[in-house]
Amino acid sequence: MKWPFHIAAFIEDRILQASSGMEGFDDAFTPDVRPADARFGEFQANGVLPMAKRQKKNPRDLATRLVEAMEDKSGFSGDDLAMNVAGPGFINFRFMPGFYHEWLDNIRTHSDLQTACRGAITDKVVVVDFSSPNTAKQMHVGHIRSSVIGEALCRMLEFQGARTIRDNHIGDWGTQFGILLMAIHHFDTRLDVENDEALEELEELYRRGSKLTRESEEKLEEARQELVKLQNGDPENLSRWEQINSISQKAFQEIYNLLGIRFDYVLGESFYQDSVENVYTELESLGIAKESEGALVVFHPEHPRFKKQSFMVRKSDGASNYATTDLATILHRIQEWKAEEIIYVTDGRQQDHFEQLFLTARKWLKHHPEINMPKLRHVWFGTILGEDGKAIKTRSGEPIKLKDLLAEAIERARVTVENKNPDLDEKERDEVARHVGLGAVKYADLSQNRTGDYVFSWEKMLSLEGNTAPYLLYAVVRIRSIFRKAGLNPGEGEDAADRVETEEELALARQLLLFASALEQATSDLRPHILCTYLYDLAVTFSSFYNANKVMVDEEPTQARRLLLCARTLTVMETGLHLLGIETLEKM
Ligand code: ARG
C-alpha cells in the first residue's frame, strides 16, 4: 500500500498478507479492524473470534500466531505499530513514533486527507432529503436543524467518496393553498414576486384567511373548492400557486445562500401528483393497503404498534397525502437516480411516519424484481429549547423566524469581535462577524447529539471558551498567525523535521491520526457531533502542545517538526470545520 491510505484499511491489508496461507485461516476470514478503546490502543481487530469459531480452534492461539506472522512478514516493527493479543482473542494496535512520522510526512493537504478517508461508501449513491420546509410560510428556527445537519452529512459523505444527491422535498401541495387562494379572492390581493416582504404578506394573508374559515362555514367550503380547483388544474389557481411558490423559494434561497447550503434538486410534494394513482393501485392490488371508512390504509400486523395504528395513504375525500407522496418519491429516487441509500433529516415527531413509510415501501417494492431496495434511514433530531426549557419562541409567543435569528447572530458576533480585536478594519470586521455568528449557530446545533433537545443560548454559543465555534475558529486563527509571524506559509519550514518526541507532540500527533476514525464513526452513525467532539479535542490538544512547546526555537529539526505539527493541525481543523459547513478565517 502507498500513502496516503486509510489506516484501518492499511492494518487490514497487513493482516490479510500475514494470514494468507496460514493454518486455521480460511478465505472467508475478515480482519474486522475498528477504532479501539483508547486504553488499549488506537485500533482493534476482532475478526479472529468468528474465524476460530468456524474452524473450532482456540482464538487466542490463532491471534498470537497471527501477530507473530505480522512481525515477521508484514514489515511491522515495534517502531511502527505495537500489537498485542487481548481478551478472548482480539488484537490491539497502538501507533508508535515511526508510524506518526510516516503519517505526518505523507498526509499534508486537504486532498491527502481525503484520500486517507475514503472508505466503504466510495461511489455509493446516497440521496439526502433535508431542509424541506413548507411553502407559503417563512422558515422558522426549527428549520435550522434539518438544514444544517443535512448539509454537514452531505459534506461528510462526499468527503469519504459517496455520490450524494441533495434533494429539498418542499411541502408545496398542502391544504394551506385552499385557504390562501380563498383569501386572495376575498381580500382581492395582488401577489408580487419582486416584493421583498412578499412572504411575510402571504403569511399574514394566511392568518386572515384561516380566521375567516374558522368563523364561517361558507368560507371554509370556499377554501375547499379552491383547493379542488387547483388540484384539477384550474389555470388561474395554478398560476397563483406558482407565484406563491416562487415567492417562497426566493426567500428560502436567501437563507440557503447565507448558510452555504445547496441542493441538486428541489422536487416538492407537487412533483409527485401524477404518480400517486399508481401507488394506490399497486398497494391495493398487492393486498398491502385496504379501505377503511372510505380511506385507504396500511396496517403492519407484525409490528406491536402499527398493527393497530394505521398508515393512511389516501384520505376519505380521495385526496393523496404526505404518505402517498413519500411512497411515490421513493420509487422515483430508485428508478431515476439509482439510489442505494436514502437519508431523511426531520424532527423526531415524524418517527412513526418514517417507520411506517419504510415498512410499507419494503413490502411494496419487494414485488418489483428489477428493484434493489435501498437502505432507508431516518435521521431525526430533538427540539431547540428556550432558556425556560420549553420550545423556543419569541417574547410574544410566535415561532422565531430563521432570517431574524441569523441576522441577530451576526450582530451579536460583531459586538464580540469589536471588543476582542478593535484593530480590524470595517471589511474584516464584517467578515469575521458573519463567519463567527453563523458558525456559532451552526456549531451549537451540530455539536449536540442530534436526538436530544438543547437549550439555545447566545452567551454559550458565542463564548471563546469551551466547545464552541468561536473557540475552534480561534484555534485556526492562532495557527495561521504563527506562520504569518514566522514569514512562512503553512507547510513551509518543515523539511528538516525529525520525529515527534515530547509528550505533547506525541499526544497531538496521535489525535491527528484519529481524524479518519472520528469522521467514519460520525458518518456511519449520521451524527455530526462526533466530528465536533473530535475537533474540540484536537483544539484542546493543540493548545496544550503550544503552551508547553515553543515553536520558533534555535534547533532546526525541533522547529521544523513543530511547524509541521502546526501545519497538519491546520489542515485537519480546517477540513473538519469545512465538513461541518463552517467557514474559517485568517484573522479574528
Ligand atoms: N415538509 C416536511 C416538514 O416541514 C418535511 C419533509 C421531509 N421529507 C419527506 N420526504 N417527508 O415537516
Report the CATH number that the domain containing residue 46 is assigned in CATH: 3.30.1360.70
Domain of residue 493 covers 402-579
The H or E element containing residue 7 is: helix 7-19
168 Cα to the center of ligand 1, angstroms: 9
Assess contact for 586 and 481: CB atoms under 8 A.
no
Nearest CA to ligand 1 atom 4: 133
Asked if residue 75 has pLDDT above 80, the reply is no
Q: Which atom of ligand 1 is nearest to the CA of 171?
A: 1
Q: Which atom of ligand 1 is nearest to the CA of 344?
A: 8
In a domain, 56, yes or no: yes
* Claim to verify: residue 460 and residue 558 sit in the same structural domain: yes
* Claim to verify: residue 447 and residue 538 sit in the same structural domain: yes
* Claim to verify: residue 87 and residue 185 sit in the same structural domain: no
Residue found by looking up cell 389516501 in the block = 314
Quick one: pLDDT at residue 196? Answer: 84
| 80: Cα within 13 Å, side-chain hemisphere | 12
In a domain, 326, yes or no: no
404 Cα to the center of ligand 1, angstroms: 22
- 196-248 pLDDT per residue, tens: 889 999 999 999 999 999 999 999 999 999 998 998 899 999 999 999 999 99
In a domain, 302, yes or no: no
* Claim to verify: residue 547 and residue 445 sit in the same structural domain: yes
- Residue 150 Cβ contacting ligand 1 at under 6 Å: no
Banded model confidence at residue 546, pLDDT cuts 50, 70, 90: very high
Percent helix, strand, coil in the chain, to 5, is 55, 10, 35
* Claim to verify: residue 571 and residue 444 sit in the same structural domain: yes
In a domain, 335, yes or no: no
Proportion of the chain above pLDDT 70, given as a percent: 99
In a domain, 143, yes or no: no
Domain endpoint, select from 67, 95, 123: 95
Average pLDDT, the chain: 94
Residue found by looking up cell 498567525 in the block = 481
Q: What is the CATH number of the domain that holds 447?
A: 1.10.730.10
In a domain, 167, yes or no: no
H helix and E strand count, the chain: 21, 13
Assess contact for 171 and 133: CB atoms under 8 A.
yes
Three-class SS state of 32: coil
Mean pLDDT of 80-89: 91
Quick one: pLDDT at residue 116? Answer: 92
Asked if residue 74 has pLDDT above 80, the reply is no
Asked if residue 73 has pLDDT above 80, the reply is no
Distances (CA, A) of 457 to 127, 143, 433: 33, 17, 17
Quick one: pLDDT at residue 400? Answer: 93
- Residue 133 Cβ contacting ligand 1 at under 6 Å: yes
Distance CA 326, CA 112 (A): 39
The DSSP-derived string for 329-359 is: HHHHHHHHH--SEEEEEEEGGGHHHHHHHHH
* Claim to verify: residue 450 and residue 556 sit in the same structural domain: yes
Quick one: pLDDT at residue 77? Answer: 67
322 Cα to the center of ligand 1, angstroms: 8
Nearest to 356 by CA among 370, 344, 367, 341: 344
Dig out the grid coordinates for 146 from the structure. 434539518
Proportion of the chain above pLDDT 90, given as a percent: 84
* Claim to verify: residue 188 and residue 88 sit in the same structural domain: no
Instruction: Count the domains in the chain.
Output: 3
Among 64-73, 161-170, 377-386, whose mean pLDDT is lowest? 64-73
Domain endpoint, select from 235, 259, 283: 259
Burial category of 382 from C-beta neighbours within 10 Å (exposed 0-12, middle 13-18, buried 19 and up): middle
In a domain, 123, yes or no: no
* Claim to verify: residue 508 and residue 420 sit in the same structural domain: yes
The H or E element containing residue 564 is: helix 556-579
Test site for ligand 1: of 333, 350, 377, 402, most ligand atoms within 8 A of the Cβ: 350
Asked if residue 366 has pLDDT above 90, the reply is yes
Domain endpoint, select from 95, 110, 132: 95
Distance CA 332, CA 274 (A): 12
* Claim to verify: residue 419 and residue 528 sit in the same structural domain: yes
Assess contact for 413 and 440: CB atoms under 8 A.
yes
- Residue 171 Cβ contacting ligand 1 at under 6 Å: yes
* Claim to verify: residue 91 and residue 180 sit in the same structural domain: no
* Claim to verify: residue 91 and residue 233 sit in the same structural domain: no
Mean pLDDT of 414-422: 89
- Residue 346 Cβ contacting ligand 1 at under 6 Å: yes
In a domain, 291, yes or no: no
